[in-house]
Amino acid sequence: MKYSKIAIAVSATVLLNGCLEVEDKNNSEVVNALQQQNEILSEQDQKKSVTVRGLIVNSRDSEPVSSAKITVKTGVETIAEGIVGADGKFSISDLPSNSDLDLIVTSDSDEFMSRAFFFNTEFSEGSNNQQDIGILGVSEAVDVSFTVLNGADNTPVTDLVFKADSSSPSYSGVSSSTFEYLHLSTFDEVNGIYNMTLPRYIDVAATASLDVNKDGEPDYVLESLPFSSGNNITFFSANEGGANEIYLLTADDAAPEEVEYRVALVDEFGDPLLGATVLVNDQYNDDVSATYDAEAGEYVISAAFVQSLSIQIPAFSVGEINYQSASINIGEQNDGRLSVYYSGAADYASYYVSSDTESLSFAIQPQEIVNNVSELEAVLVSEPSKMDSSWNVFYSQSVAVEVSDVTLTNLDAFTVTKGNASTDDLVLAGTTSIVGGIDMAVSVALSKNDTRLTVSPDSLLVAGDSYQYTVGTIEVVATGQTIDLASDSKQFTVPANEEAVFDIAQVRLDNNNYTTNGNAITAQNTAGEASTPFDYDRNVYLVLPSTVNSLQSFTMRRVSIVEDGSSALSTETYNLVENGNVQLNSSALVALAQNETLYTDNINFSIYDGMNLPDVAKAYMRQMYIYLSDSTSSNENSATFEYAYETKSGDVVTGNIKLNVE
């Protein structure tokens, strides 16, 4: 397969403070006793500390470095600095217990590059408990260069930015401080190259976004799969330099490649079979059909190839012989070859071919259908269309399907029925019923000798929600037999709306205690009975809106809390979005009175009913494992965070935010 090319040459520990959660909010004596106990435990927690020790070595030979200076930070606050390690050894006292910290190692003599280490201090019951954080590697610097050329005219491509991260993450994941310590490339306009300074003996990858104009779509397309991830280009082990060469396509030149496929359909004697339909139907090819080359005895079809392709041969007849549906499936491999395997053929075949060709030839013998003997199969179950979510199933024989036997279910949607909503339902007053799964209206159509079933939703699907297509009972036309296959279903997720704008101000803190500002959120249940929740300490949750799906990464680090008006250092890192994927399960918010009975059925996600937030089908929760009551005008309860997030178009935003508990 031929491409125009752009050449690139390379010259938490959980914060358990012992606070107990009060379940009986109407027993004031129990509440008061537990509140007093929580206050005592919180005071004790502030006296706990850790002494950290370790060894700094040169990553070249694992020998201790001769000099090193160490600075320790918690959030934006420096809590230890100017510490000199002798023969690589260091010991730092009076560090806070149960905290996420940054340790930055530097050299005044330029013996090695500065490097950040993120670690978690252990839970401590006393003062200066010992903690060994092990061996920390540092390295001298090395300069590397990247030459990026436009394949059309060999002029330098100047608008990329390469980033590399040599910091060492803690077990709790990437820190929000990571962006402060990134290595960035600079472009040398005189020589037309990108320059970076990296640690020579620490393995790092250099990554650049191919979405230069930040519109969510790549402006360059990378051909070699091992070097790409989404909209990024990555040089692995960039610190080693070398003479690697990879290829890019500019987006304007990267239209799907047309490839010629030649299919010889033969019977058991090797004689050609005429009268079949050979086609390709996917998001790049809309029912592209083959023509028959009588001289060569082959069906010839030209179709766009993008990573994978399936050539479909619907069931057909030659004289008195019926043949079942078959397919030839082709996929691009990381090593540049193409994998090929047959489905529905008389003999199974699986092999590899070179991709460096403009024409591919195949020979396939379809399987004969013997009535009352041949079993019905789903030869191909497609992925739903990215354009309209329609879905195709190819069967091995002609079938008949009723629309009532096909369902499309929104797995994330649910129906809420409250006890005072109607006198005609079975939900009693004082009870709310939540039932998961909502079926969507669909249309069905059969084509290609009634072997291809196409199912289309009658309305737009919700971005970011998960759905499932299911085909129930179908009839085999040749025999009249009805069958319910297990294989003709597909679960999928509609891509999230990446154009949605995330706003850090939408992040909330809530303790799910049915009160806000000390007062009941919902005054009475659906039976008209007064709700009297007590504003007591409960586990606090970070609540994130669904717009976090528009982010590539998002980290928050708690740096302090205010508990009942008293401020205390309290650090923990929360990695909320990584590589474009939200790291939390979605939950639903439905505000109910504390004394409402909740009945659920077919629900596979959590439902929170005591938060001061609007009802919403999808939000994301992160337990903080700190126990606080509502923040009021006379009694503050809050947490302060550092945050850093990157949008999928490459914009990086950092800052600080204080959130009150609701």
**Contact 546/538 with Cβ under 8 angstroms?**
no
pTM of the shown model? 0.67
Q: What is the DSSP letter of 600?
A: E
Three-state DSSP string of 196-214: EEEECCCCCCEEEECCCCC
- Pick from 438, 439, 453: which is nearest to 485 by CA? 453
Residue 601, amino acid: D
CA distance linking residue 357 with residue 370, whole number of Å: 38
Q: What is the pLDDT of residue 8?
A: 42
**What is the mean pLDDT for each group of 10 consecutive residues in the chain (662 residues)?**
39 31 41 48 60 93 90 86 80 88 90 92 84 93 85 77 85 66 92 91 90 77 57 83 61 72 92 93 89 94 90 92 92 86 88 86 91 80 90 93 97 93 88 95 94 95 94 93 93 87 95 96 96 94 94 92 91 89 92 95 93 92 94 96 89 93 96
Indicate the helix (H) or strand (E) that contains 52.
strand 49-58
| 35 alpha-carbon distance from chain centroid | 40
Q: What is the pLDDT of residue 246?
A: 63
**Contact 593/190 with Cβ under 8 angstroms?**
no
Q: CB within 8 A of 461, min separation 6: which ones?
A: 389, 410, 440, 467, 494
Q: What is the pLDDT of residue 644?
A: 93
Share of the chain above pLDDT 90, in %: 56
Q: Which string of b and e fits 110-129 if b means at least 16 CB within 10 Å?
A: eebbbbbbbbbbebbeeeeb
Q: Is 365 exposed, middle or buried (0-12, 13-18, 19+ CB in 10 A)?
A: buried
Give me the numbers of helices (H) and strands (E) for the chain, helices first please: 1, 55
CA distance linking residue 108 with residue 104, whole number of Å: 13
Q: What is the pLDDT of residue 561?
A: 94
Tokens of 31: 């509440």
Q: CB within 8 A of 416, min separation 6: which ones?
A: 432, 433, 434, 590, 615
